[in-house]
Amino acid sequence: MDVDKLISRRVRELRRSRGLSLEQLAERSGVSRSMISLIERQETSPTAAVLNKLADALGVSLPGLFSHDAGADVKSPVSRHEDQAVWSDPASGYVRRHLSPPGWGSRIELVEVRFPASETVIFDNPVRSVALHQQVWMLEGQMDITVADQTWRIGLGDCLAMEYGERIVFHNPTNQQARYLLALTSNETTARRAP
C-alpha cells in the first residue's frame, strides 16, 4: 500500500467533502496552503505534527487519515496484516501501523507504534475539533509522555489513559526502540467547529 498516496487522497477528499478551499483549510489548520497543495499532489511526505493539524481541521482523528476504505460498500471485520496502512514520520522516524479494519464503523481505533531511540514528537494544540481519548499500552521499552504540564514515564506492561489536551509530547528516553499499542476513541461531532 502506498501510504503517501492514501494520505494525499484522504486529505483532498475530506477537504472537498467539507466544502473547504485550500486557503480555508490552511487558515483552520495553521498549515500553509502550499504545504497542503504539495501533500494533495503527493509531492511531499508530511510530518506527524502537520498531519495532526490537518486531521483536526478536517474534523477527524489522525488515524482517520489512514482509513482508505471508508466509503467501500463491502466492509470486513478483519484487517489483514499485509493490508494495514504503515506510515513513517519523516522527521522522527517513528512508524505507525493502523491495525483496525477500515470502514468498519467502530469508534475504537487501534494503532501500533514503533518509536526510535532518543526521538521526540510534539503535538501542539492537538485535536481541538475532535474529542479524542487515548490509551497507550507499552509492549517494549519506555516512553516519557507529557500531557499539558504532567509527564509520565511508562514501561513494559504499563498503560496510560489520556484525553488530548493543548500539548502532548512523546519522547523515548532510552537508546532502544520502544513499541506500544494505541487504543483511541473519538466523538467527531462533539467539538467540531462550524465551517
Top pLDDT among 186 and 32 is at: 32
Going by their DSSP bridges, the two strands 167-171 and 95-98 should be labelled as unpaired
Top pLDDT among 23 and 75 is at: 23
Domain ranges for the chain, please list them: 3-66, 81-187
pLDDT of residue 195: 33
Whether the predicted pLDDT of 44 surpasses 70: yes
Q: Grid coordinates standing for 29?
A: 489548520
Among 21-25, 49-53, 114-118, the least confident range: 49-53
Q: Could you tell me what percent of the chain has a pLDDT over 90? A: 59
Among 31-35, 113-117, 160-164, the least confident range: 160-164
42-46, 72-76, 114-118: range with highest mean pLDDT: 114-118
Average pLDDT in the chain: 86
Among 108-112, 122-126, 151-155, the least confident range: 122-126
Whether the predicted pLDDT of 67 surpasses 90: no
Give residue 179's identity as a one-letter amino acid code. Answer: R
CATH of domain 3-66: 1.10.260.40
pLDDT of residue 130: 64
C-beta atoms surrounding 1 within 10 Å: 13
Give the E-state strand segments of the chain in sequence order.
86-88, 95-98, 108-115, 120-124, 131-140, 143-147, 150-154, 159-163, 167-171, 178-187
- Calculate mean pLDDT across residues 3-11: 91
Q: Which fold has domain 81-187?
A: Jelly Rolls (2.60.120)
